[in-house]
Amino acid sequence: MAHWYVAVVLGIVEGLTEFLPVSSTGHLIIAGHLLDFTGPKAETFDIVIQLGAILAVVQLYWRNFLGLLKHDPNHAFSGFRGIKLLVLTSIPASLLGLAAHGYIKQYLFGPTTVAWALGVGAVLIFIVEAMPKRVRTTNLDQITPMLALGIGMFQCLALWPGFSRSAATIMGGMILGAERKTAAEYSFIAAVPIMFAATGYDFLKNYSLFGTEDLLFLGIGFLVSFVSAWLAIKSFIFLLGRMTLRPFAVYRIGLAALVLLFLGGAQ
């Protein structure tokens, strides 16, 4: 494996970007090229550290996840109904991801395609933020099955590396009438089942690439990703009550331009 500091850098990148509308996959692809850490082993390492970010969500929203085990009459987002909402959100991207997995891996995991995804996502953020807001959903308990399925349809956009699952689901929720902060919180929670399934599937296919000598490297990346994601989620939710998504769109455009300028020819 690479030097330990590569695990630290990639863990920070993953944790800080996984749940922000800027694309963790895109940032990891770019960082991997800059650190000369690419190939099947690097891609599987990225999967492992994503699990660290997922666990940060579970820790922060443990009451919501615990509530899924038993229906709470005071909270509609609980028990079987809560599970059903998460399943509805996960189905579209899961099916499309399984069907297009090979194509995505072969053709879309490169700096140029990531740059275009960053740019397209930024334009859509500006459009969504400029749209008239008809807020009908202000908390998780008000999420309906149709809203959950609709957010799941938008989540399919995240299969394009660089677009950002967080951006796709938050924008989808806002378009469909969810308040920005509520859309973000549901985006975080809904990420857990689909990300756990996707990362588990990829890791089971490729775990043989690693030996016992790689465990420390994997552990460092996992732990750093967990801590970074925890801090990023707390900060993002705090900021969403005071700002729009436009600053993230500006950042995406700037990053896309830099990637095309310096890494546009990389594969």
Cα–Cα distance for residue pair 111/26, rounded to 1 Å: 8
Q: Radius of gyration (Cα) for the chain, nearest Å?
A: 18
Question: φ, ψ for residue 7 (rounded to 5)?
Answer: -65, -40
Place of tokens 């985006």: 187
Contact 7, 28 (CB under 8 A): no
Domain that holds residue 151: 4-263
Place of tokens 């990148």: 13
Give me the pLDDT at residue 267, please.
Answer: 54
Cα–Cα distance for residue pair 219/51, rounded to 1 Å: 11
Give me the pLDDT at residue 1, please.
Answer: 63
Cα–Cα distance for residue pair 111/105, rounded to 1 Å: 13
Q: Encode the chain (267 residues) as per-residue pLDDT tens digits.
A: 678 899 999 999 999 999 999 999 889 988 998 999 988 888 888 888 998 999 999 999 999 999 999 999 999 999 999 999 999 999 999 899 889 978 887 888 888 999 999 999 999 999 999 999 889 999 999 999 999 999 999 999 999 999 999 999 999 999 999 999 999 999 999 999 888 887 877 778 877 788 788 889 989 999 999 999 999 999 999 998 789 999 999 999 999 999 998 887 555
Domain count, the chain: 1
Question: Has this prediction a pTM greater than 0.75?
Answer: yes
Give me the pLDDT at residue 198, please.
Answer: 78
List of residues 6+ apart from 179 with CB closer than 8 A = 135, 137, 138
Which tokens in the block code for residue 265?
């020819």
Give me the pLDDT at residue 266, please.
Answer: 59
Contact 6, 224 (CB under 8 A): no
Residue 155 exposed, middle or buried by CB count within 10 Å (0-12, 13-18, 19+): buried
Neighbours of 211 (CB within 10 A): 8
